[in-house]
Amino acid sequence: MKAYVMTFIVGGIFCAIAQILLNKTQMKTAHILVTYVVGGVVLSVLGIYEKIIDIGYAGATTPIIGWGHALMQGTIAQIEAEGLIGVFTGGLTAAGGGVAAVLLFGFIMALLFNPKTKK
Amino acid sequence: MKDISNKEYKELYEQKRPKAKLSTNCLKAFCVGGLICMIAQAFNDIYTKVLGIGAVNAASFTSITMIFLGALLTGLGIYDDIGRFAGGGSLVPITGFANSVVSPALEFKKEGLIFGVAAKMFVIAGPVIVYGLSSSMIVGFIYYIVRMILL
């Protein structure tokens, strides 16, 4: 149960920060997603994001910042295992599932559905 | 009707325009975003505890499931309604990433399957992937150098 409460709180905080940025700055959705992903990469290599996941469970892995963390952890793991080539192969080893799923499901849904007429 | 200068107009506009209340917006974003993450946590628990999938793969399956749901709800036109209510709450979770792919793909569908659907899928996802992968490779390279010096 504690995991779900912490998930709600941590996930909520990441979303509330995005809302503040939307309201108070000129940032658009793409800026926020890019900032979050790069932020995830940096927090991950510093070992900070691992601790946030220990606290926030899916509240830390579901926001797009967690995808940045997955990219970085994959890169580090492949560098440890394979050396320099890991710099190039590591990111998509760990975070590739999400990219592949977005491409496949995104394409299928765009084929299946038609845009709703704007009211 | 009396003429007003640009400056007066701007002042009037600032007074009269509907102001989005930051506190209400944040609360909505917090709650909806928190709920989406709880759904992800539930899937993660099902994958690890019920189906016995390892932690790393279960996390990937959870992401893939959430992406599927985000894409489906966008296709059905439901996710955009959630987005209007929740703002950042539906943007930041990975379901919002799926939404940012499907939404422009649908909107430009009439321009064809190549330049419409397939190209427009990357309007927002493209920059996210470019910056995400590039930064992880650059930071990874620095990590590799530092590791070589220290070991």
pLDDT in tens, A40-53: 999 999 999 999 99
**Which residues of chain B are within 8 Å of residue A55 when distances are taken between CB atoms?**
none
Query: With contact defined as beta carbons under 8 Å apart, do A72 and A63 qualify?
Result: no
Window 37-76 of A: residues touching B by CB (8 A cutoff) are 37-38, 40-42, 45, 57-59, 61-68, 70-72, 74-76
Whole-Å CA distances, B101 to A3, A34, A103, A107, B70: 30, 14, 8, 9, 10
Express as a percent the part of chain B with pLDDT over 70: 94
Nearest to B67 by CA among A66, A42, A27, A28: A66
Mean pLDDT, chain B, as a whole number? 92
Tokens standing for A74? 């994959």
Residue tagged 């992406």 (tokens): B67
CA distance, residue B8 to nearest chain A CA (Å): 24
Tokens standing for A39? 């932020």
Q: Do A18 and B92 touch (CB under 8 A)?
A: yes
* A85 contacts chain B (CB < 8 A): no
Residue ranges of the domains in chain B? 22-120, 125-151
- Identity of the residue in B25, B98, B137 whose CB atom sits nearest the CB atom of A19: B25
Question: Is residue B147 predicted with pLDDT exceeding 80?
Answer: yes
H-run or E-run covering B67: helix B55-75
Label residue B13 by pLDDT band (50, 70, 90).
confident
Q: Which of A32, A45, A102, A118 has the most B C-beta neighbours within 10 Å, making it the best mutation to test the interface with B?
A: A102
| Number of other CB atoms surrounding residue A85 within 10 Å | 11
Rounded to whole angstroms, how far apart are CA atoms A38 and B15? 38
Sign of CA dihedral B40, B42, B48, B51: negative
B60-102: per-residue pLDDT in tens? 999 999 999 999 999 999 999 999 999 999 999 999 999 999 9
Sign of CA dihedral A92, A96, A100, A102: negative
